[in-house]
Structure 1
């Protein structure tokens, strides 16, 4: 009879960078947060620009504008950060509203929104899943402060905040001006098409 003795569990073989060198492995949580904060601030600046310039663009025009924004200098190698940034910016295209909506720039409050032909206003706050995990509550404070500012400015015409987690759509949330928050994917402003046909046929 053979008896196998297991040593105390060690997961060092599975840590980040165990197989290949990884800078992420040596960063502290504070350093990760600093890096993600920088990315999210850049992301918000660019999505504001995309919203201002590209609402009526064709997909190819939108893509060209994004690519111009993050064009890598010939002397520099593309980095994971620039690749991630352009991917997230392209994802924002899915959240562009109807071309009948007007872009609204809230420069004093550093966010942007949209006004529908009926006069209702929606504010966008974009973020990443990493940011929401590293800084719990930080983005929600931003949502609350932006909602208060928009309410004081637009009154009853303010409909709510779209909290958009670009790399995790099911974490995105709709914060209506009145009522409880709900997943953005299934909110009343983005109803789920239960019986949508994959071939693009009519929804019945």
Structure 2
């Protein structure tokens, strides 16, 4: 299992999820990245994410089956590896690395507007389970609907009362949940659903 962390760059914020896969006997690869600040980030900063994921897989066997799980910009990078083509704000397709070993995708609140261009998801044939928070102000739930245009099995779930960081076990300071959102209950459910999806055939 390859875990693609979000903009904060620290996979330790997702430790219970990673430990669940390790306990199940799976090899877990979860590289850290420098913090990404969207307001100041360049294309090279974004490209470093999928490039870093490919580098993290360099010691994995060529015939291995890889599941990629990602949050936010990590989910974006996971889609790139699986064949998606992001488009620039100027309307141009962007070159990104791919990895043919990707067999499953689990995407937590993926910024899918990058993939609204013509044919952006045509090469994504990997089954995917995608979550987005009903109250996410960074990635609106409607934005993620574009994933349904991929020629793949897509299970898209909108999580009631969840925000952008409802999928993170240790959210950034000051990111408070809606009072009606049961964070602990949802995260336990999310981990179980993610594991079942990744390990099912």
TM-score w.r.t. structure 2 length?
0.31
Larger Rg: 1
- Higher share of residues assigned helix: 1
Higher relative contact order at CA 8 Å, sep ≥6: structure 1 or structure 2? 2
